[in-house]
Amino acid sequence: MKSAIVWLAGLTLLAQVAFSGLPFAWFGGNTEMPSLAPMLDNSKPAVVNIATQSHVRIQDNPLLNDPYFRRFFNIPEQQPRQRTKQSLGSGVIFDAKKGLVLTNNHVIHKADEITVSLTDGRSFQAELVGSDPATDIALIKIPAEALIALPLANSDKLRVGDFVVAIGNPFGLGQTVTSGIVSALGRSGLGIEGYENFIQTDASINPGNSGGALVNLRGELVGINTAIFSPGQNVGNVGIGFAIPSNLVKQITDQLLEHGEVRRAYLGVQMQDVTPELASAFNLSSDKGAVVTRILEGSAADKAGLKVGDVITAIDDYHLVNADTLRNSIGLLVVGQTIKLDILREGKSKQLTATVKETKQAKVQAAVHPKLSGATFGDIEPSSPYYGQIHGVMIYSVVANSPAWNAGLRGNDVITSVNKEKIKTLEDFKPLVQNDAPLLLNITRNRQAMFLILR
């Protein structure tokens, strides 16, 4: 609660100068101290606890599945064994009338049962409305009445230094509140999700807080808590937490309600960062933006008139930092949306318009191998700088602290071989990871090749 103490100290600085007595004396003895309690009294009922159960098949020795082996050793046919896996998380009531609850995709991923518990003691079985692994957002529904929903804030108006409060269910302890400030905005390139635009906060976020609320001092939802940065697997919160902005949550939720999934747009370009060397070669005054290295024929970029060598500096007046922010910006657009592109061509500023199309890529949210759990795999998408350059399977997102994350896999990695067998597509990849045997993966990360052993 350090940040809250700093805030209170700021409000009462003059009183501290005038008086050296106890705090109640500063307000005449009968006046209430400044507190977040009134705001939280309205906000806490909108944050729920989520418990899930899933049944995981226990992998038997492959020889026991061989009928000739069983017959030779007179081993009767065995029924598949299962174990029950339980997990805890949090959620936020999004629509009180319809019983809609927001949470993280990784909280309810592969769950057979989802139980939502309210602060008034009621519990309900929830059904999945839709989810988007690439942004780690899921929408579930409960058959409940007399619910309270959190109003949505405009997260684009957040500023670094704004006070925020995290509400959730850390470690299954029950509803807990922590406070802090907005530490940074627009965090991306972390490899946590496929599309990233995180709010960073120092309000304590721990396992179980996932899917919970990040609210401002008016009690409005500014983000969904989703991950923390930790220097080691066994190290807890270090004051670096990440939340999905409410505007992005609303955008994804609208698509989940309409389609049950997110129909992701693409521009149809390959691009790379503007390095200082490229900035010098292109006579640019800044190294911000993304250089177009390839245009896909018939794509939105092609029809808009983009050319190889163009430097995209902004989309709808949003200034780009690098190629990653361009990919994120395009992937979070609505299919069919028309956008304005600010570009530099041969040193001259130019403006183009493009109508983004839908990209359809085969994906699988998890492979059967236990060490790959928590990762989403798919064919290399056309907007990737690796498209047409190398063959393999792209990792679109990795849930923080999942087995795949702890094994060293990160978002945007490309797996080019499994146990020394080269792969080109998702269909090549899936048969090679069907058991729990050790895996030797050849990975391309940031254009550098490396081997990773998963035991």
Average pLDDT, the chain: 80
Q: Which one of the listed residues 43, 204, 210, 329 is annotated catalytic?
A: 210
Q: Which one of the listed residues 136, 310, 342, 413 is annotated catalytic?
A: 136
Say if residues 90 and 74 touch (Cβ distance below 8 Å).
Answer: no
Q: Which one of the listed residues 3, 87, 106, 155 is annotated catalytic?
A: 106
State the pLDDT confidence band at 6, using cuts at 50, 70 and 90: very low
Give the pLDDT score at 327: 79
State the pLDDT confidence band at 30, using cuts at 50, 70 and 90: low
Residue 124 pLDDT > 60, yes or no? yes
Give the pLDDT score at 4: 32
Of 2-11, 340-349, 413-422, 424-433, least confident by mean pLDDT is 2-11
- For 50-141, which CATH class? mainly beta
DSSP element (H, E) containing 448: strand 448-454
Edge to edge, what strands does the sheet with 82-95 contain? 123-125, 113-117, 47-57, 82-95, 100-103, 137-141, 127-132
- Does residue 219 or residue 1 have the better pLDDT? 219
- CATH number for region 363-454: 2.30.42.10
Whole-number Å distance between alpha carbons of 180 and 193: 24
Q: How far apart are the first and last CA of the chain?
A: 41
41 assigned to active site? no
Give the pLDDT score at 367: 54
Phi-psi region of 377 (alpha: psi -120 to 50; beta: other; left: phi over 0): beta
- Does residue 160 or residue 290 have the better pLDDT? 160
DSSP element (H, E) containing 103: strand 100-103
From the list 213, 212, 242, 245, the residue with the least C-alpha distance to 230 is 242
Q: Which residues pair with 415 in a beta bridge?
A: 393, 443
**Composition of the chain by helix, strand, coil, percent to 5:** 20, 35, 45
Q: What is the pLDDT of residues 60-102, one digit of tens each?
A: 555 556 666 566 667 666 655 556 667 788 999 999 999 999 9
- Does residue 397 or residue 23 have the better pLDDT? 397
From the list 286, 161, 148, the residue with the least C-alpha distance to 219 is 148
**Residue 143 DSSP SS3:** coil
State the pLDDT confidence band at 374, using cuts at 50, 70 and 90: confident
State the pLDDT confidence band at 1, using cuts at 50, 70 and 90: very low
Residue 5 pLDDT > 60, yes or no? no
From the list 115, 4, 13, the residue with the least C-alpha distance to 54 is 115
373 assigned to active site? no
Give the pLDDT score at 135: 86
Say if residues 300 and 267 touch (Cβ distance below 8 Å).
Answer: yes
Q: What is the pLDDT of residues 301-337, one digit of tens each?
A: 889 999 988 999 898 888 888 887 787 788 777 788 8
Mean pLDDT in residue range 128-141: 89
Please report, rounded to a whole number, the percentage of residues in the chain having pLDDT higher than 70. Answer: 80
Strands (E), 296-332: 311-315, 318-319
Whole-number Å distance between alpha carbons of 311 and 301: 13
Check the CA dihedral 360-403-85-236 and report its sign. Answer: negative
| Residues composing the chain | 455
State the pLDDT confidence band at 158, using cuts at 50, 70 and 90: very high
Q: What is the largest CA-CA distance in the chain?
A: 92
Give the pLDDT score at 235: 56
In the chain, residues under CATH classification 2.30.42.10 are 265-358, 363-454
- Does residue 241 or residue 28 have the better pLDDT? 241
Q: What is the pLDDT of residues 273-287, one digit of tens each?
A: 888 888 888 777 887
136 assigned to active site? yes
Mean pLDDT in residue range 212-216: 94
Residue 19 pLDDT > 50, yes or no? no
- Does residue 225 or residue 337 have the better pLDDT? 225
Whole-number Å distance between alpha carbons of 252 and 187: 18
Whole-number Å distance between alpha carbons of 372 and 408: 10
Give the pLDDT score at 83: 62
Residue 444 pLDDT > 80, yes or no? yes
- CATH number for region 265-358: 2.30.42.10
Give the pLDDT score at 67: 66
Whole-number Å distance between alpha carbons of 218 and 99: 23
